[in-house]
Amino acid sequence: MLSFDVQQTRAILIGTSDCIYDAQHLPPLPGVVNNVLDLKRLFIDPDIVGLPPASVHTLLNPQTPSELAKGLFQVAKEALDTLIVYYAGHGMKAQAASGLYLATRETTEQACEFDGLPFETFRRAVASSPARKKILILDCCFSGEALEDGMGSEAALLAAGIELKGTFSIASSPATKLSVAPLGDRYTAFTGELITILRDGIDGDDQFLTLDHVYQELRRRLLQTGLPEPQCQSRLDGSRLKIARNQGIVLDLRANLSAIQTRLDANKGQHFEFETFQKIEQYLFAVKQSGDFQNLLVDPRYLVLKRYSTNEATVEQVVKAFWIGQIKPETVSRDTPEVAPPRVPEDKGQSTQPRSVHIQPPEPKSPQLVLALAEISLGVLLLAAAAWGVALGSATPFVLAILFVAAVVIAYNVGPTPQR
């Protein structure tokens, strides 16, 4: 996350490319216009800084020192979280007065203390802002002199009720040296390197560029090409403020995503089953569409795919990363039969008769119990027949009962044996 609230941050980019009354001593600087316009594009680019366009103000070729100072003051008072101020143009030192003067269109070298803007006035406009973080970037000759008290003393700012969270100033050259604007180049030398760093990022694993990252890389590049050494001043850990997303990492991530896609296409249908391959493809498509590359650095799916693209991760590790906490369809055997009630075996014949379903009969009672009940019943029958015969004074009912019992006994012993 960047170190400022983009909604409460304001930036003003000021540039003076022509001093119309003294072109001999203060020659045109056509690169300044490109400095301002291209810096604005970077500041409003959501992949780099992401400030709302309405929060980034440009002031090109102010006619008078008053116009420059008022424009800066108006923007400064709107900034509540962070104020970013950039100036590119001619910087001068007066012969009879000390201090740095910034050029406008009507400024002349000999009379700069009268028609140029004293940096002290510029500084007071910056210091008047309620913003708790302030960033000042100066690309002009002798700009290092501004750093002697670039943002005002901490004591004075605190006394004015401004709660500082950090300030940082960068100057394109020392207090006693000229800055460089190569003839025919698109930008001035200092701002050209600044734009390149913000646009392309730097090597390393840092997701964000701090002001110290930017300054150290600027210093390294400018010294490497024999240009003046830039100067910086940091207060209250201002050097740690994160000003932009590191595009160096984004470029690496894009290259890695391309390598991953190439490896997947080469092994399509060989390493992954359809469901997993489809899931990976959908993930890569969503990442490319969103452009949200910063979160990839902590995404286990991207990390394992990156290792897979260089043969450092196995197929099993990729599958695990994409199906963690889920049921992977290909882990369920397609040959596993569904659970269903037992089916009646198919009749192999050609009969059209409906198949019979065997119903298990209830368990029969014990034969011993049945025999005992039969003996009791026959005994009761014989007693009843004897009583009936006594009542009639005849033996006939008793004889008939004995014959019936004998028939039952014979039938039981001679008949078929029941199925057990």
pLDDT, tens digit (0-9, with 9 covering 90-100), for 352-398: 444 444 445 555 555 566 566 666 776 677 667 667 666 776 767 66
Distance CA 154, CA 39 (A): 29
Closest CA to 308 of 249, 264, 253: 264
pLDDT score for 4: 84
User: What burial class does residue 51 get, using C-beta atoms within 10 Å of its C-beta: 0-12 exposed, 13-18 middle, 19+ buried?
Assistant: buried
User: Quick count: other Cβ atoms within 10 Å of Cβ 252?
Assistant: 17
- 3-class SS at 118? strand
At residue 248, the pLDDT reads 80
Tokens coding 151: 């943002």
Helix (H) or strand (E) holding 159: helix 154-159
Task: Convert the pLDDT of each residue in 13-71 to its tens digit.
Answer: 999 999 999 999 999 999 999 999 999 999 999 889 999 999 999 999 999 999 999 99
pLDDT of amino acid 47: 84
pLDDT, residue 300, reads 85
Q: Which residue ranges of the chain lie beneath pLDDT 50?
A: 150-164, 330-342, 344-345, 347-359, 417-420
Tally of residues, the chain: 420
Q: By three-state DSSP, how is residue 252 classified?
A: helix
The three state secondary structure string of the chain is CCCCCHHHEEEEEEECCCCCCCCCCCCCCCHHHHHHHHHHHHHHCCCCCCCCHHHEEEEECCCCHHHHHHHHHHHHHHCCCEEEEEEECCEEECCCCCCEEECCCCCCCCCHHHHCEEHHHHHHHHHCCCCCEEEEEEECCCHHHHHHCCCCCHHHHHHCCCCCCEEEEEECCCCCCCCCCCCCCCCCHHHHHHHHHHHHCCCCCCCEEEHHHHHHHHHHHHHHCCCCCCEEEEECCHHHCEEEECHHHHHHHHHHHHHHHHHHHHCCCCCCCHHHHHHHHHHHHHHHHHCCCHHHHHCHHHHHHHHHHCCCCCHHHHHHHHHCCCCCHHHCCCCCCCCCCCCCCCCCCCCCCCCCCCCCCCCCCCHHHHHHHHHHHHHHHHHHHHHHHHHHCCCHHHHHHHHHHHHHHHHHHHCCCCCC
Distance CA 300, CA 334 (A): 29
Going from the C-alpha of 247 to that of each of 86, 124, 216, 256, the distances in angstroms are 21, 34, 17, 14
Question: What share of residues in the chain are helix, strand, coil (percent, to 5)?
Answer: 45, 10, 40
In 3D space, the residue among 189, 253, 181, 191 whose CA is nearest the CA of residue 30 turns out to be 181
The owner of tokens 């690309």 is 139
First-to-last C-alpha distance (Å) of the chain? 86
Identity of residue 203:
D
- CA-based max dimension of the chain: 170
